[in-house]
C-alpha cells in the first residue's frame, strides 16, 4: 500500500496541472492515469485536431491563394495522409512527453492504471501488472468526459467514428456524413473538406452553432462552409445507417420525410458526457447529478470534504483551460489559500475557418442579466492592413458594453487568429475594463490586434478606419 497527501485521478489538462501545483506546494502527490498523460485534449482532442486544421489550412492557402501572390507551384500538391497523421501523432507525443517530464520534474508519482474508490480514503489502481491499494488525505477527481454515442451508430472508430477516429484516418475518405453541427463536428468537417472529402452535415437545429456562439459570427462560418461545398441539412435527425456494397447509407428525417445519404464514413459529434459512472464514486459517497456531473461548491469541493472534482466531470463549460484553472485552484485550496472559483468569464474558441472566439456575454445574455442599454459595434477585418496582407479578411470583432458605465461585457470575434486575439478581451473583462481602456491603449501596427482597439473606438462611435453614422 502507498500513502500520499494528494492523489489526482486522471492526468488530463485539469488533473496533471492539479498534481504539479500540489507538488509545488509541498504535498506528496500522485496522479493516476489509465490511458495517456495529457488526457483526451493532448492525445485525441484539442492538440491533434489543431495540428490537422493547421496542415489543411496551409494546403488550402497553397491551392487557392499562392498564385495570386505570385507563388506558382508547378503541378498539384500530393497529400500523404499516412505521413500527415504520423506528423500529427508526433505533435501529440511531444506534448504528452512534456507532461511526463513536468510531473517527474516536480516529483509527482505517476500510477498507470484504472482507479476505483474503495472507501473515501482509499482507492485501488488496476493495471496490466496487477492491483494495488493507495491511500491519501485528499483526492482530486479529474476523470473527464467521453463522446456521446447515439442509437444505431455504435463507434468502431474506423467507419463509424467519434472525433477520436476522425483524427486518425490513414487515408482521405471520399464521402463523410457528420451527425451534429456543433464545434467539434464543424472543425473536423472543415479540415476534411480541405482534403477534398465530400461532407454532409446533419444538424437538428435551424442554424449551425445555435446557442453556442454569437449568431452573427456563426453566419460568417456558415457562408464559408457553403462556399467550400459542405452540404448542411437543417432540422434533420439521423435515424439509422445501413452497410452497403460501396459504403454506408445514412437515413435522416427532415421535415417529416426520410432522406438517404450515401457515404464511406460516418462521424458522430453530438456532444460529450461526463464520466460520472467511472471510478466507483459511490463507494466514496460522492454525489453525482442526473447528467453524470459531480456536484461541487465554489472551491470545487464535493459533498465529501476531502475530495474535490475538476474539469469536465465538475460541470460546464467542458473546456480544457477551465479544467487547468480549477486544477491550480484546488491545490491551493488544499494548502489553505483563500480561493474560490470566481471567474467572470471563460473564453471559448471554435477552430473553424475562419475561427470564432468569445469572452463574456452575448447580447441576449447581457439583456437577460438586466443590461438593457447597450453599446454594440463591429470592426471588420477587411479594414485591417495585416488581415489584407494575409488574404484573410472575412469576419469582424464585435464588442458589447454597458452604455451607462462603458464597462466591457462581451467580445466576439470571427476571423483570422481569433483564438489568439480573445485573450486581450478575457483580461479586459476580468479586470472590469471600460471601452476607453482598450481604445486608449496603443496597439502595434500592422497587426490583427489593432482590430481590438479599433472596435473599441467604433463602440464609442468614433472609429477611424470605418465610416460610421454621426453620434446622436
CATH 3.30.390.30 segments of the chain: 354-460
State the Cα–Cα distance between residues 365 and 367, nearest whole angstrom: 5
Compute CA 267 distance to the chain's CA centroid, rounded to the nearest angstrom. Answer: 17
Q: Which CATH number fits domain 160-270: 3.50.50.60, 1.20.140.10, 3.40.50.720, 3.90.1150.150?
A: 3.50.50.60
* Percent above pLDDT 70 for the chain: 100
Task: Write out pLDDT tens, residues 182-206.
Answer: 999 999 999 999 999 999 999 999 9
Q: If we measure between CA atoms, which residue out of 324, 388, 442 comes closest to residue 38?
A: 324
The reported pLDDT for the residue numbered 61 is 96
The reported pLDDT for the residue numbered 234 is 97
Number of CB atoms found within 10 A of residue 138's CB: 22
Q: Which CATH number fits domain 2-147+273-335: 1.10.3720.10, 3.40.50.11610, 3.50.50.60, 3.80.10.10?
A: 3.50.50.60
Task: Write out pLDDT tens, residues 225-240.
Answer: 999 999 999 999 999 9
Assign 97 to helix, strand or coil: helix
Which grid coordinates are listed for 381? 477585418
Number of CB atoms found within 10 A of residue 360's CB: 24
Q: Is the pLDDT of residue 472 over 70?
A: no
- Which of left, alpha, beta for 396 (phi over 0: left; psi -120 to 50: alpha)? beta
89-92, Cβ contacts within 8 angstroms, sequence gap of 24 or more = 89/48, 91/47, 91/48, 91/51, 92/38, 92/42, 92/43, 92/44, 92/47, 92/48, 92/51
CATH 3.50.50.60 segments of the chain: 2-147+273-335, 160-270
The reported pLDDT for the residue numbered 82 is 95
pTM: 0.96
Please identify which of the residues 60, 325, 412, 445 carries the catalytic annotation: 445
Highest CATH level, class, for 354-460: alpha beta
Catalytic residue list contains 57: no
Task: Write out pLDDT tens, residues 410-428.
Answer: 999 999 999 999 999 999 9
CA gyration radius, the chain: 24
Q: Is the pLDDT of residue 1 over 80?
A: yes
State the Cα–Cα distance between residues 127 and 426, nearest whole angstrom: 41
State the Cα–Cα distance between residues 128 and 133, nearest whole angstrom: 15
**Dihedral of alpha carbons 191, 196, 201, 206, sign:** positive
The reported pLDDT for the residue numbered 75 is 87
Amino acid at each position: 500500500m502507498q500513502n500520499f497527501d494528494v492523489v489526482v485521478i486522471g492526468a488530463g489538462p485539469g488533473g496533471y496541472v492539479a498534481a504539479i501545483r500540489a507538488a509545488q506546494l509541498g504535498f506528496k502527490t500522485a496522479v493516476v492515469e489509465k490511458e495517456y498523460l495529457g488526457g483526451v485534449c493532448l492525445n485525441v482532442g484539442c492538440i491533434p485536431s489543431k495540428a490537422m486544421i493547421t496542415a489543411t489550412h496551409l494546403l488550402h492557402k497553397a491551392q487557392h491563394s499562392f498564385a495570386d501572390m505570385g507563388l506558382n507551384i508547378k503541378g498539384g500538391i500530393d497529400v500523404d495522409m499516412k505521413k500527415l497523421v504520423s506528423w500529427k501523432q508526433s505533435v501529440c507525443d511531444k506534448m504528452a512527453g512534456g507532461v511526463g517530464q513536468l510531473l517527474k520534474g516536480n516529483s509527482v508519482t505517476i500510477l498507470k492504471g484504472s482507479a476505483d474508490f474503495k472507501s473515501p480514503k482509499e482507492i485501488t489502481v488496476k493495471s496490466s501488472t496487477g492491483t494495488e491499494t493507495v491511500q491519501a488525505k485528499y483526492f482530486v477527481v479529474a476523470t473527464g468526459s467521453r463522446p456521446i454515442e447515439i442509437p444505431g451508430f455504435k463507434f468502431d472508430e474506423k467507419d463509424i467514428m467519434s472525433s477520436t477516429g476522425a483524427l486518425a484516418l490513414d487515408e482521405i475518405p471520399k464521402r463523410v456524413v457528420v451527425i451534429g453541427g456543433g464545434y467539434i463536428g464543424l472543425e473536423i468537417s472543415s479540415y476534411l473538406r480541405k482534403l477534398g472529402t465530400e461532407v454532409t452535415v446533419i444538424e437538428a437545429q435551424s442554424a449551425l452553432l445555435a446557442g453556442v456562439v454569437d449568431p452573427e459570427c456563426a453566419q460568417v462560418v456558415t457562408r464559408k462552409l457553403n462556399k467550400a461545398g459542405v452540404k448542411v441539412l437543417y432540422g434533420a435527425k439521423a435515424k439509422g445507417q445501413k452497410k452497403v456494397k460501396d459504403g454506408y447509407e445514412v437515413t435522416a428525417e427532415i421535415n417529416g420525410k426520410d432522406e438517404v445519404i450515401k457515404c464511406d464514413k460516418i462521424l458522430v459529434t453530438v456532444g460529450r458526457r461526463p464520466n460520472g459512472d467511472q471510478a466507483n464514486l459511490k463507494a466514496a459517497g460522492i454525489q453525482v447529478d442526473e447528467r453524470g456531473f459531480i456536484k461541487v461548491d465554489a472551491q470545487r469541493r464535493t459533498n465529501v470534504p476531502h475530495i474535490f472534482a475538476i474539469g469536465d466531470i465538475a460541470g460546464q463549460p467542458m473546456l480544457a483551460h477551465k479544467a487547468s484553472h480549477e486544477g491550480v485552484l484546488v491545490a491551493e485550496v488544499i494548502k489553505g489559500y483563500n480561493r474560490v472559483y470566481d471567474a467572470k468569464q471563460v473564453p471559448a474558441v471554435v477552430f473553424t475557418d475562419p475561427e470564432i472566439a468569445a469572452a463574456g456575454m452575448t447580447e441576449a445574455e447581457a439583456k437577460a442579466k438586466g443590461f438593457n442599454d447597450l453599446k454594440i459595434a463591429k470592426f471588420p477585418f477587411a479594414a485591417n492592413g495585416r488581415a489584407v496582407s494575409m488574404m484573410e479578411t472575412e469576419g469582424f470583432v464585435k464588442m458589447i458594453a454597458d452604455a451607462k458605465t462603458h464597462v466591457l461585457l462581451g467580445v466576439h470575434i470571427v476571423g483570422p487568429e481569433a483564438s489568439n486575439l480573445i485573450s486581450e478581451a478575457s483580461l479586459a473583462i476580468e479586470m472590469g475594463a471600460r471601452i476607453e481602456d482598450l481604445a486608449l491603449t496603443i496597439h502595434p501596427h500592422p497587426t490583427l490586434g489593432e482590430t481590438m482597439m479599433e472596435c473599441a473606438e467604433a463602440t464609442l462611435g468614433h472609429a477611424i478606419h470605418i465610416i460610421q453614422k454621426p453620434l446622436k
